[in-house]
Structure formats: C-alpha cells, structure tokens
Amino acid sequence: MTYTKRYHHLLYGNLREIDTIPKGTLNNTIKSLIILSKFLGVHEEFKQRLKSYGVKMIRPDVFASFIRIYNNQTTDLLEWYAQAISLLRENERLLLRFLLNSGVRKEEGIISFNKIIELSRKGKMSIYYNSEFSALQHFMFKEVFLRNTKNVYISIIGESLVSEIANSEPVTYEQIRKRLERNGLKVRINELRDFYGSFMVRHNLIKEEVDLLQGRIPPSIFLRHYWSPSFKELRDRTLEALRQLEQTLSF
C-alpha cells in the first residue's frame, strides 16, 4: 500500500522515475503497481509499457548470499556477545539471552520480552506461555506478531528463562544501542537470529522446524497441508539444543 500510494502515477506517467527507486524496494514497488494495474483494468497496457522501457524485476544476488555465508564468523559473534553482556544491565543481558534462545527478530523479541513482564504482573502468563509445550504462543496476539510477511507464531523457551524475564524490568532497543555505542561496541543484535538458525540445524532440528520456530512457513504444498510435527517431540529436541547453546555461551 505504501509503494502504491507513492508511485501510482507511474501507471500512466513517465517510467523514467523507476530508475531512481532504490534497488532494495524496486521489486515490491513493481509488484504493487502490477496489482494496482490489474485492479484498474490496465494490466496489459502497463505490462507492455514496462517491457518497452526495459523494466525487469531484480533477481536476488546469489553471490552476495554466498559471500555472507563464507565470511560468517561465529566465534567473532560470540566474542561480541561476551563483551556486550559485560556492559549491559541485567534486563538488557536477559534480552540478548532471550533473542539467542528464541531466534526471533529484534523487534519481536523486545515486544515479547516486555509482554512477558506485563502479563506476569497481571497474573495472565498462562495466556502466553504454554507450560506443556514450553512455548510462548505469539499467535495469541495476532495484531502484534502476525504482520503479513514478517510473522512469528511460537517460540520454544525454557521455563526458567521465562521466569527470569517475568521478574525483570521492561527494556528498549535504544537503551541497549546507546550503551553499546558509548563503549565503542557495534550493535550486532540482528546477527543473533542467524546464529540461532544455524546452531539449531546443527543440533538435531531440521530446516523446516527452524523455519517454523522463526516464523517462516514457505508456500510448499507439503508444509502447508501434510507436514504435521509432534510438538512435544519438537519441544524435547529444541530444549536439548538450547541446553547445549547455554553451555556454548558459558565463557
């Protein structure tokens, strides 16, 4: 909707402006305009104009993905993590642990962290934390955690960590960012999600299970209609992997 509002005039105007659209948003912009053109009944005309001007969707940079994988330095990130927790306050350290143990995005992690505290103080944690599955049920709060392409449905987390968070204080990203930068440390919080995914795959979880825990459900017929993992069995293997993760972090 944002791209449609900003660039809707390109349906009929000069397409030269497309050259000024950042590459990171070009694909979504073109997709939004194509959807709008179909709604307005001018799709064929617009498609021909795109073709005449030579506008094409940008293919993902596979080589850039390879370089990211090749240059990944897990040990370096763990060193950063050790430095970071030595500088942060108790609730901020807990947030980093929570992000490492859940693999959720930074924004989701902060919202979840603070919601645990809020619901615990109201005596309503049972709505959010399912003790049987050792899982935070993010899907119970759709308006917060289900956001079109960026979703998170469930996180299997040890009850002891959830209890620590419940007895902590709310946290904000700005608090952490400023404290790290004042001490000359880069803010690498987003990399914790990548570390979680790689670690769990190496410790007895399959890719589809990690995708599920990180909020990715690909458009696969098998995944959407046939794959039915046992959550209790997934819980046990996930908690075991998290125990090994905690041992890895015991510097």
Residue 65 is assigned to a structural domain of this protein: no
- In the numeric block, which tokens belong to residue 191? 């990399």
Q: 156 φ, ψ to 5°? A: -85, 115
Judgement on whether residues 79 and 27 belong to the same structural domain of the protein: no
Average pLDDT on 8-23 reads 81
User: Which residues constitute the domain of residue 182?
Assistant: 73-248
Q: Is the pLDDT of residue 61 over 80?
A: no
Give the whole-number percent of the chain exceeding pLDDT 90: 61
Judgement on whether residues 87 and 11 belong to the same structural domain of the protein: no
- Buried/exposed 201-230: b ≥16 CB within 10 Å, e otherwise: eebebeebbbbbbbbbeeeeeeeeeeeeee
Give CA–CA dist 157/101, Å, rounded: 7
Alpha carbon 74 to chain centroid distance?
19
Residue 163 is assigned to a structural domain of this protein: yes
33-42, 92-101, 105-114: least confident range: 33-42
Quick: pLDDT tens for 199-236: 999 999 999 999 999 998 877 777 677 778 899 999 99
Q: Cα torsion at 46, 218, 108, 99 (round to 10°)? A: -140
Judgement on whether residues 106 and 146 belong to the same structural domain of the protein: yes
Judgement on whether residues 35 and 86 belong to the same structural domain of the protein: no
Residue 63 is assigned to a structural domain of this protein: no
Judgement on whether residues 21 and 143 belong to the same structural domain of the protein: no
CATH code at 120? 1.10.443.10
In this prediction the pTM is: 0.75
Give CA–CA dist 158/160, Å, rounded: 5
Residue type present at position 172: T
Give CA–CA dist 99/112, Å, rounded: 10
Judgement on whether residues 39 and 79 belong to the same structural domain of the protein: no
Q: Is the pLDDT of residue 80 over 70?
A: yes
Range from 6-15, 72-81, 109-118 that averages highest in pLDDT? 109-118
Of the candidates 60, 57, 54, 52, the one whose C-alpha atom is nearest the C-alpha of residue 33 is 57
**Per-residue model confidence (pLDDT) at position 57:** 75
Judgement on whether residues 156 and 202 belong to the same structural domain of the protein: yes
Judgement on whether residues 78 and 18 belong to the same structural domain of the protein: no
Q: Using CB atoms within 10 A of its CB, is residue 116 exposed (0-12), middle (13-18) or buried (19+)?
A: buried
Q: Per-residue confidence at 66, pLDDT binned at 50, 70, 90?
A: low
Residue type present at position 125: M
Please spell the DSSP secondary structure of 90-138, one letter per residue. HHHHHHHHHHHHH---HHHHHHHHHHHHHHHHTT-HHHHEETTTTEE-G
Quick: pLDDT tens for 145-161: 998 778 999 999 999 99
Average pLDDT on 63-90 reads 79
Of the candidates 196, 106, 101, 159, the one whose C-alpha atom is nearest the C-alpha of residue 114 is 106
Give CA–CA dist 189/105, Å, rounded: 9
**Per-residue model confidence (pLDDT) at position 24:** 73
Quick: pLDDT tens for 168-187: 999 999 999 999 999 999 99
Judgement on whether residues 144 and 235 belong to the same structural domain of the protein: yes
Alpha helix positions (H), the chain: 2-7, 23-40, 43-53, 62-70, 74-87, 90-102, 106-121, 125-128, 142-145, 159-166, 173-182, 191-202, 207-213, 221, 231-248
Judgement on whether residues 78 and 14 belong to the same structural domain of the protein: no
**Per-residue model confidence (pLDDT) at position 229:** 85
**Per-residue model confidence (pLDDT) at position 56:** 76
Judgement on whether residues 10 and 79 belong to the same structural domain of the protein: no
36-40, 67-71, 108-112, 221-225: least confident range: 67-71
The mean pLDDT of the chain is: 89
**Per-residue model confidence (pLDDT) at position 11:** 82
The dihedral sign for the CA sequence 176, 181, 184, 186? positive
Give CA–CA dist 115/138, Å, rounded: 10
Q: Is the pLDDT of residue 251 over 80?
A: no
Judgement on whether residues 102 and 149 belong to the same structural domain of the protein: yes
Average pLDDT on 54-73 reads 65
Residue type present at position 127: I
CB of 96 closer than 8 Å to CB of 85? yes
Q: How many domains does the chain have?
A: 2
**Per-residue model confidence (pLDDT) at position 211:** 94
Q: Per-residue confidence at 136, pLDDT binned at 50, 70, 90?
A: very high
Q: Per-residue confidence at 115, pLDDT binned at 50, 70, 90?
A: very high
Q: Per-residue confidence at 137, pLDDT binned at 50, 70, 90?
A: very high
